[in-house]
């Protein structure tokens, strides 16, 4: 696994965390 793939993986994890956070806020509102 090269550094490019590692960077991509970190970006995906960051994106995933943001989505989960957004979803949690939506779930709380409803």
pLDDT digits (tens, 9 = 90+) for 3-29: 999 999 999 999 999 999 999 999 998
Residue 1's SS3 state is coil
User: Which residue range is the domain that position 8 belongs to?
Assistant: 1-30
Q: What is the rounded CA–CA span in Å between residue 20 and residue 6?
A: 21
Handedness of CA 4, 10, 13, 15 (dihedral sign): negative
Q: What is the rounded CA–CA span in Å between residue 25 and residue 15?
A: 16
In angstroms, what CA-CA distances link 2 with 6, 7, 9, 10, 16? 6, 9, 11, 13, 21
pLDDT for position 5: 98
Give the total number of structural domains in the chain.
Answer: 1
pLDDT for position 28: 92
**pTM, rounded to two decimals:** 0.65
pLDDT for position 30: 79
pLDDT for position 29: 87
- Answer whether residue 1 shows pLDDT above 80: no
> Which tokens hold the place of 24?
């949690």
């Amino acid at each position: 696994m090269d550094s490019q793939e590692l960077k991509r993986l970190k970006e995906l994890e960051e994106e995933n965390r943001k989505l989960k956070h957004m979803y949690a806020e939506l779930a709380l509102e409803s």
